[in-house]
Structure 1
Amino acid sequence: MTPPTRRQTALVKRIAAADLAANRHHPHHVRNADETTYKLPNHVCSYISAFTKGLPHHLDGRLVSPHHFQLFIHAVRTGHVKDIAAIPLGPPHSSSFRSGIAKDAAVRGWESMAAGNTFDLQGPDAQAVTMPPCPRLNSHELVTEMTELYYMALLRDVPFTHFNKHHLVQSAVYDMNHTHWTKSNRCCLPRPERRRHRSKFTTDNIFRGVTPGDITGPYISQFLLVGTKGLADVHEETEGYVQYGATRIDQRVRTVQPKIDYMTTWAAYLDVQNGADLRRHSAYAEPPNYRFICTPRDLATYVHYDALYQAYLNACIILLDINAPYDSGLPFTADDAVDKQQGFATFGAPHVLTLVTEVATRALKAVRFQKYAVHRRLRPEAVGGLLEQYRRYGGGHSDLAYIIRPIRHLADSLSSDLMSMVAKENGRQNSLIRDNGHPRSHDEGSDDTHLLSMAYAEGSPMHPSYGAGHATVAGACVTILKAFFDHTFKLPFAYVSSSDGRKLKTVKLSKKLTVEDELNKLAANISIGRSWAGVHYYSDYVESIRLGEEVAIGMLKEQKLTYSEKFTMTIPKFDGSVIEI
């Protein structure tokens, strides 16, 4: 028999990968029932629980027309440019932006609405992975999530090293432990909720992730702090420079002005919901100042502008620099005298560096489908808007009072002491006086609102909240790194940023940090960094990293079919289990 040609063998490999993808379980996508549950007085859906940012809203915060949201859904389904262009964007035609900060602002379009309709030739199809329904608007879980977010907003300028003794952190522990959700019996919850449930908060675990290693050692992952030795070993890791060939990247972040938050007046909030583009209005320290991440606001700044795979590419370079061993199941891991070759194009540095970036785009497509086509969850800022509407109009008998009735459970369940602190801080923000055109200036009063303050002037991105793009990419990229490197390897350093961010200090731990610990913590830092900014919930993080993990594992399984070498990859998953590819 004539042996197959290279062309025929290549076709067989591609078909095998296609068969693997086609035979993969394609789940049914399930959303919660909120979108069709809450009605207007005329029984038309109100969409108060849905992402409506960018669509026209009345001055009291209501959608101008539910039909606009139906056009939004239709455009997501078709992905046609003309359908997307037909969606109304911006404030109603009869009005303009009202706040001082949004004066003369342009409108801001939605981001990649149809990305989830794109087909891919590698890894799981964007619609072949899924997420469970997100917490409902009247759920006990959302009460805990919003309690957490309001405290995070109040704590943005407290150094991480001060958390254990800070009175607001202690108050957050108390309030979150006394929510109905935290006190509920975990065993009685449905499976998706059970794995999101956190049974007891302490000053050591609050505001942290829940994967192995997340509560081990300092809050910030080493991979967001340390540098590499670089060329000729001329740098120390404490200098914070990550060497990119003959150039270098500084791990320090540019600092923004402390104690300045955004969207704390109703006019500014409404402008942003109507699509005001305020992405260049954040107030930065002048002259420019850079420091190691030492406060939640620094972390929120990092995840404001990062290239989505940036932190994981740096982590990969750091692991290569310290000669972290590859997974023992990979080829070419013995001495050169034995293997007679080194990994490079395959099973070497260029291979893993490329995969870290390659998986990111597939993760983004998968999560975009969940965001737009399935869940369409409103952002935390909009929940804050509903709470402010309820404060203003909830006791009346108007149509708006009828519409916002579903928010009563949340409003009544939040700690009154917490909301008093929120109102007081928002009042302080709103009383700031215009100073030489300061971009934080407003001209719309100094109300003590219940709005959730934002670290970013523009608030959230222009796409729904669940899942989270940063978290999905984090889950995917970290999974690639855990597949290639020995996850049990102990890092030769442990640092924490000083409280002013000027230097790294050695921290003494009872046991050394491992690759798995710090990669999981890195995924949590990046994901929860978005919650510190106010733009995501905890459930967005915990479900999205799992989505990204599934995308990465699927891609690695298909790629394995293409190699002539026999090898295995051992991957510790976020749930604590271990799989082998």
Structure 2
Amino acid sequence: MESRRTQARNIRIEAAHVAFNRAPVVHESNGEELQYRFGPTENNAPPEDVVRSGQPSHLTSYTKGLPHREDDGLIAHPTDFQTFVRGIDSGDVRDFRDTPLGPLQRSGGQVIGRGAQPGQAIDWSSAFTKSCAVRDRKGGAVPVRAWESQGAGNTFDLEGPDAQAVTMPPAPVADSPELIAEMAEVYEMALLRDVPFAKFEHDGDVQAAIARLNQLEWFNGSEIVGLSAAAQARRRGAVTIANAFRGTTFGDCVGPYLSQFLCAGTPELGSGGQTAESATAGFVRYGAMVFQNKVRFATPYRDYMTTWEWWLDVQNGADLRGTETYEGDCASDRYRFIANPRDLATYVHYDALYQAYLNACLSMLALGIPFDPGIPFQGADVMDRQQGFAHFGGPHILSLVTEVATRALKAVRFQKFNVHRRLRPEAVGGRLHRMKNSPGNPTFAPFEPMCDRLTEIGLLEAVRGHNARQNTIHDGRQCDQERDTSYLLPMAFPEGSPMHPAYGAGHATVAGACVTILKAFFDHRYVLPGPYVYPAPCGTKLEIAAGTPALTVEGELNKLASNISIGRNWAGVHYCTDYSESVRLGEAIAIGILEEQKLTYGENFSMSLPRFDGTTIRI
């Protein structure tokens, strides 16, 4: 036993050395956090203006939850942001409690406090928020919503790379062609939420969106001076119907938009192999039970946060979670296959973050997809005399594919809160809304190139028309000016984005980590058994995808990671770079865990792993 104890200690030490000897990283932000300032105030200016004079405006920083001014939607008191950062850096819960959370408190037109106090009912601004005070809250007022795990990046872990040992490149800056293109893409996606994926190829609105995007420098091949290496690697070519709103990795543009792991069923227990009937039923084997690849049917053509008051309430932390509606076109069709972007947004609104990858693993086990050839115990029993189970078997991979998720979340939380603190797309929409309705404010100058370009290509006019319809139908705004002058980003969720910054994306980082584990264990070049399927436009059934090229395990897993990550973009809560850089962050976490775990097994084995950048490594 002493020998075993010593061996166990030595392996842990060796794993620690593997982690320690990885090349150190430098965490670099884009430098905008303190760059933009409020202008000087004139004599006899009101106190609200004096406290901001010459101070950082945090125009491109995540400030959601802190008190904001009603007139411009920017942070009311710059020192609140520094308190916010102090808590993030220290991880001390006492610093978090000192950070103002909620709107400005006024009495007689004067500010009497910043943030909400325990037991205090808040007088929110918008009609929607006020209406939610009695809905599902037993008559209570809408509370404020706390930030999420802003200290997680300071924690330590006993497996895999430390949360601060991996990094991401700086995010695009406000006036860059890349961010202009990213915001344009998110706006276009918001306008297309109810177009069925099956109709994308022939839909006029999709074609119009593609035409507008291709006028932008980021997509049309125009020369862009001064791009960093990371930005150059991210740059995409012309948008086509084949690649529009899809991911950028191998397999993303092959076959139907949705990964087979989000729709196709598997053989039932006791049946034979995959058939057209089992694939189109959409039932996936879960032990002796099944689940069906369907989602709750959200009310179609219903978007949120399209009035300034509503937008402001959300920026001030109004907790509107759970107030979306699910009426649908037919009361009996409460669940359906993921037929359009709104359905995908609903999926990623409430999924357990590793859910899609656990489900994919269950699907592949039910389909009998072989493991990587380098993994042992795959020969005939009479030869190996051993089967994989606790190691190199189903329970091993099922637990490991979920195990990496928590490590990925800690790493991305450090990037979100401690390094980049990037504002969400909804906040950029607020900047553009104010610029269009109150032109000439020099505070918003960094976003002028974006405002001008999105106006020139006709996108902001399309957004204005969309929001006018929303405000007329859903919010009863029949004749006031704001009904017709809202340029805010229409959101799929009434509460908007989560209470943490945009870059990186939690869903995408977990996607990168979990999919990397699956690609390492399963034979990634294996062709999935057909028939391949896609949801019908109504979502009530699955259709056979005739003529689809062979779909590989690698391609459909990459597509699954992209679907889930970009599903958050469809909801309006993330940008493209949040997806593309975060899946690589998650991949680095998973590779580190695999490298360290390999030390703990006595068997001589290997894994061939295709990375998101197209290279292949061997573990």
TM-score w.r.t. the length of structure 2 is 0.90
- Equivalent of residue 98 in structure 1, options 98, 122, 125: 125
CA distance in 2, matches of 1:424, 1:403: 27
Identify the residue that residue 275 of structure 1 maps to in structure 2: 317
What amino acid is aligned across from residue 303 of structure 1 in structure 2? Answer: V
1:25 lines up with 2:65 in the alignment? no
Q: Where in structure 2 are the equivalents of 1:473-492 lying within 5 Å?
A: 473-492=510-529
What amino acid is aligned across from residue 538 of structure 2 in structure 1? Answer: D
Q: Deviations over 1:493-528 (max 9, x none)?
A: 211111111111111235310001100000000000
1:580 lines up with 2:580 in the alignment? no
Bigger shift: residues 90-99 or 419-428: 90-99
What amino acid is aligned across from residue 580 of structure 1 in structure 2? Answer: R
Bigger shift: residues 104-113 or 303-312: 104-113
CA distance in 1, matches of 2:455, 2:245: 18
Identify the residue that residue 303 of structure 1 maps to in structure 2: 348
Q: Where in structure 2 are the equivalents of 1:466-505 lying within 5 Å?
A: 466-493=503-530, 494-505=532-543
Bigger shift: residues 53-62 or 461-470: 53-62
Q: Deviations over 1:376-427 (max 9, x none)?
A: 00000000000011112222xxxxx121121111101114421111101101
Report the CA distance between 1:178 and its aligned residue: 1.7
What amino acid is aligned across from residue 43 of structure 1 in structure 2? Answer: G
- Equivalent of residue 60 in structure 2, options 34, 40, 49: 49
Alpha carbons 1:483, 1:570 under 8 Å: kept: yes
> Aligned pair in 2 of structure 1 residues 186, 392: CA closer, same or farther (>3 Å)?
closer
CA distance in 1, matches of 2:354, 2:479: 35
What amino acid is aligned across from residue 466 of structure 2 in structure 1? Answer: E
Q: Secondary structure at the match of 1:34?
A: coil
1:424 lines up with 2:451 in the alignment? no
Q: Where in structure 2 are the equivalents of 1:31-430 lying within 5 Å?
A: 31-41=29-39, 42-60=53-71, 61-94=73-106, 96-103=123-130, 104-182=141-219, 183-185=221-223, 189-233=227-271, 236-285=278-327, 287=331, 289-395=334-440, 401-416=441-456, 417-430=458-471
What amino acid is aligned across from residue 526 of structure 2 in structure 1? Answer: F
CA distance in 2, matches of 1:571, 1:434: 51
> Aligned pair in 2 of structure 1 residues 213, 427: CA closer, same or farther (>3 Å)?
same
CA distance in 2, matches of 1:300, 1:266: 23
CA distance in 1, matches of 2:564, 2:98: 35
CA distance in 2, matches of 1:13, 1:442: 72
CA distance in 1, matches of 2:252, 2:482: 42
CA distance in 2, matches of 1:314, 1:415: 43
Alpha carbons 1:263, 1:459 under 8 Å: kept: yes
CA distance in 2, matches of 1:107, 1:422: 29
Q: Secondary structure at the match of 1:378?
A: coil
> Aligned pair in 2 of structure 1 residues 443, 470: CA closer, same or farther (>3 Å)?
farther
Q: Deviations over 1:289-328 (max 9, x none)?
A: 1111110000000000000000000000110011101000
Alpha carbons 1:359, 1:476 under 8 Å: kept: yes
CA distance in 1, matches of 2:21, 2:223: 37
Identify the residue that residue 398 of structure 1 maps to in structure 2: none
What amino acid is aligned across from residue 22 of structure 2 in structure 1? Answer: R
Report the CA distance between 1:444 and its aligned residue: 10
Report the CA distance between 1:445 and its aligned residue: 5.4
CA distance in 1, matches of 2:198, 2:63: 38
Bigger shift: residues 7-16 or 444-453: 444-453
- Equivalent of residue 569 in structure 2, options 520, 531, 543: 531
What amino acid is aligned across from residue 357 of structure 2 in structure 1? Answer: Y
Alpha carbons 1:228, 1:240 under 8 Å: kept: yes
Report the CA distance between 1:231 and its aligned residue: 2.0
Q: Which stretches in structure 1 are left out of the alignment for 5+ residues?
A: 396-400
1:569 lines up with 2:581 in the alignment? no
Report the CA distance between 1:476 and its aligned residue: 0.3
CA distance in 1, matches of 2:191, 2:558: 26
Q: Deviations over 1:417-448 (max 9, x none)?
A: 2111110110110112569xxxx999995243
CA distance in 1, matches of 2:479, 2:9: 63
Q: Secondary structure at the match of 2:473?
A: coil
Q: Secondary structure at the match of 1:248?
A: strand
Report the CA distance between 1:161 and its aligned residue: 1.2
> Aligned pair in 2 of structure 1 residues 381, 433: CA closer, same or farther (>3 Å)?
closer
Bigger shift: residues 282-291 or 418-427: 282-291
> Aligned pair in 2 of structure 1 residues 268, 410: CA closer, same or farther (>3 Å)?
same
What amino acid is aligned across from residue 58 of structure 1 in structure 2? Answer: R
Identify the residue that residue 6 of structure 1 maps to in structure 2: 4
> Aligned pair in 2 of structure 1 residues 443, 474: CA closer, same or farther (>3 Å)?
farther
TM-score w.r.t. the length of structure 1 is 0.95
Alpha carbons 1:267, 1:444 under 8 Å: kept: no
Bigger shift: residues 440-449 or 482-491: 440-449
Identity across aligned pairs (percent)? 53
CA distance in 2, matches of 1:442, 1:238: 48
